[in-house]
Amino acid sequence: MASSTRTPRDSDAGDRPGARTSLWVGETVHTIERRRFAELMSLFAGPVAALSTEQNLLVKRELLQALSRRSICWIALLLTATPFWYVFGGWIKSSDIYPLFRIVWVLGLWGLAVPLAAYLLKKTMALPKHADVSAVEQMHWAWAALVMLTSFWWAAASFGLIPPSFTRLHGYYFAFARYGFVELTMIGQAFTLLLLAPSFRAALGSIVIGAIPFAFNIAPLFFVNRPGMFDWYTAQLVGYCVVAWFMCNDQQRTCVNEVVLEEARSQAVAATAEKNQFIAAISHDLRQPLTTLGLKLDHIERSIKLTDLVEGVSAAQRQVDAMEGMINGALDICRLESGTWNVEIQQAALPSLLRGIVVDVQPLAEAKGLKLRLRSRPYLVRTDRHALDRIVRNMVLNAIRYTPSEQGGRKGHVLVSCHRRGSGIKISVWDNGIGIPEGRQADIFKSYVQVNNPERNREKGFGLGLSIVQGLANLLGHKLDVDSAPGRGSRFSVTVPFMGLIPPELLEVHTVEDGDLDLTGMVVAIIKDNSDSRIEMSMRLIEHGCYVVAGASSSDVIEQLRMEALASGPHCILSDYRLENEDGIAAIAAVRAATGFSIPAILWLGDTSSAALKEVAISDTNLLSGPDSEQTVLTILAEHKPKTLAEGG
């Protein structure tokens, strides 16, 4: 062990007895001294905790509120003192300007400070809750500027007061003139430090800017006649600045601690409420299967002599399965919250993982009358294989659970797909089920929360699947996305880091069936104002490897293209001719103009009038009349697939 920790200094020390011991002791003492020095400086260095962006904004708002209130009190003190100096001050009377100067000083201070303070106070109170840091900082600087200006105006009174007299060389000279004005102002700086502590810039600016008039009027006389007084006032001013730094840092530390403590208190209250809900839900859900299991076992005991016990045993087994699933889910939640779920990040082959999930849950989909499809590509991703399996499996089970076999004349179906997004692979589970209202989408990731199961029907699950999905995604650092609308279906996606393509000779699963058109890598824009038709077409194209950007109008598609920031495309545009606010030709032209490319287009035309046909003929688009088959659309897309697209795009 000693040889493994030997350093070059060990060699220099040689084999002298005690040399190595003294070396390590010296380094230990040095480390302790540095740690103690850091602890000492941390008492004055500022905030005691690292703040998030939201916490930092909250601290700045709290300090701004405190500064606004205290600045009002500080300005009120100065304004209250102005009548005293107006009446009892020793003002210069040798010129006609000085009596007027006294009036201008008082009225100017009141006329300047009061309206500006009222205006800034109103602006501060009206600051919106969603205001960002820059807006708060602007208000903070505005208050600091008002404080500096008021302090300068206050000290400007020294220009009109009688200069100090140094004829009395013995004793202490004091008068309500320029010398006394300096004395009382210096004494009053204690109030400045106390009231302006929420802002170091305001306190420092008030002291320094307010000293400028005194520097012009008093400093030259002191420097010549009484240099000791000049040094004394200078030291006093510097001392006030140092004290201001300590007080302002202490005020900020206090505010930071309050914000952190309040957030911790809020989180504790929320956690307690969630735990209470968790306990209430699990007690409710466990009580039912336990009661049913007891009754079934009692029935089996009474009917033990009967030969047909299959129905009773099956019912008891279902209750056992329900309890096992709920307890396992609850334990998984506890593992995630306690940080005891260990993950092993490594390369994982996506096709075999997704194929295994689909094969396992296929019987559940068939039993419910749903069509379950998989569209995968030979991607290698960086993740924990078992955790990602759990995430995708729970998303698929959730889609099957909340997708009716038929809804509004549409057969229920679920699609599992994956496509490349920059440096990541986005794994999506699509369904055309009941959908989720926008206001409830944040709740579905909470434990024991189910949007469409108020009766707590165990056949609809226990409300733990998506909570586990969220916890595992956070643990792995994978991004989750939800896109859903009531009555139209949902898309749950998780994005994992992309590592490369599986070599063809190592592929275990062929993800493209024989005779199936491979449109992998194509970016297709769909413009349809009928949402059901738009979603259906999107899912079909995704199954064939396309990346789809769909919208009800050209503006929707253009906005999505800007947000997606795709490296290429779209490679083709599909549009209805009859749209709600525009025709398909104009929509295609708008997308082409926005992208700057002459993109191939396919137009569905239900209107067979000669005028419409002539308009389409000059628009450079492929024309489909009526409900042409899906294969026709796929064939046209395949013809327009760029030859430069990478094999694994």
The answer to which of 108-117, 121-130, 541-550 has the lowest mean pLDDT is 541-550
Instruction: Place 150 in a pLDDT band, splitting at 50, 70 and 90.
Output: very high
| Range name among 173-182, 274-283, 353-362 with the lowest pLDDT average | 274-283
Sign of the CA dihedral with 136 first, then 140, 141, and 143 last: positive
Peptide bond into 570 cis (omega under 30): yes
Q: State pLDDT tens for residues 223-239.
A: 667 777 778 888 888 99
Position with higher pLDDT, 293 vs 213: 213
User: Over the stretch 519-529, which tens digit does the pLDDT of each residue have?
Assistant: 777 888 898 88
Report the alpha-carbon angle 423-425-429, nearest 5: 155
| Distance of alpha carbon 398 from alpha carbon 588, whole angstroms | 37
Per the model's pLDDT, the better-predicted residue between 471 and 355 turns out to be 355
Helix (H) or strand (E) holding 574: strand 572-576
Residues 56 and 132: their CA atoms lie apart, in Å, by: 10
Distance between CA atoms of 268 and 461, rounded to whole angstroms? 28
Separation between Cα atoms, residue 262 and residue 51, nearest integer Å? 13
In single-letter form, the type of residue at position 316 comes to: A
More confident residue, 206 or 337: 206
Report which of residues 145 and 420 the model is more confident about.
145
Q: Are strands 523-527 and 489-501 parallel, antiparallel or unpaired?
A: unpaired
Average pLDDT over residues 149-164: 90
pLDDT above 80: residue 620: no
Q: How far apart are CA 618 and CA 56, in angstroms?
A: 59
Calculate the average pLDDT of the chain. Answer: 75
Q: Contact at 8 Å (CB) between 498 and 379?
A: yes
Residue 364 phi/psi, 5-degree rounding, is -65, -40
For residue 117, the model assigns a pLDDT of 93
- For the whole model, what pTM was predicted? 0.42
- Of 453 and 146, the structure prediction assigns the larger pLDDT to 146
Most confident listed range (1-15, 224-238, 266-280)? 224-238
Judged against a pLDDT cut of 90, whether residue 453 lies above it is answered with no
- Select from 543, 551, 548, 536 the least CA-distant residue to 412: 536
Main-chain phi, psi angles of 490, to 5 degrees: -140, 160
pLDDT of 277 reads 63
CA distances from 223 to 169, 208, 244 (A): 16, 19, 26
Strand 489-501 to 479-485 pairing:
antiparallel
User: Which one is predicted more confidently, 8 or 295?
Assistant: 295
Percentage of the chain surpassing pLDDT 70?
A: 66
Residue 267 in tokens: 């989180």
In tens, the pLDDT along 366-423 reads 888 888 888 888 888 998 888 888 888 888 888 888 888 887 677 888 999 888 877 8
CA 13 to chain centroid: 55
Q: Name the residue with tokens 């299991």.
A: 293
Query: pLDDT tens for residues 470-519?
Result: 878 888 888 888 887 777 788 888 999 998 887 765 555 444 333 456 67
